[in-house]
């Protein structure tokens, strides 16, 4: 099994914790939208489900493509 450097929840939490740093390059409206998404319980649940369904996503391929790539 491949070893991941960063898991999905870790990446999610990193963006969420460092949202203020994005203020230097992002528009206020964009930041409000992103904050709303990151604080949403639905998105948090999706991150958890994604981690369970695809425990190691070392590449930046979408989940379905990554799954097909591993199974071939």
How high is the pLDDT of residue 39?
Answer: 85
pLDDT in tens, 22-62: 766 667 777 788 888 888 888 888 888 877 777 665 555 44
Task: Give the tokens for residue 71.
Answer: 């199974």
Which element (helix H / strand E) includes 55?
none
How high is the pLDDT of residue 21?
Answer: 76
How high is the pLDDT of residue 10?
Answer: 74
How high is the pLDDT of residue 61?
Answer: 46
pLDDT confidence band for 71 (50 / 70 / 90) = very low
Q: How far apart are CA 45 and CA 51, in angstroms?
A: 10
């Amino acid at each position: 099994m491949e070893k991941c450097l960063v898991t999905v929840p870790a990446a999610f939490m990193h963006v969420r914790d460092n949202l203020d740093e994005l203020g230097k390059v992002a528009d206020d409206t964009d930041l409000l939208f992103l904050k709303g998404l990151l604080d949403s319980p639905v998105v948090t649940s999706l991150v958890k489900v994604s981690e369970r369904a695809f425990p190691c996503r070392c590449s930046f391929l979408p989940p379905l493509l990554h799954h097909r790539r591993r199974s071939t």
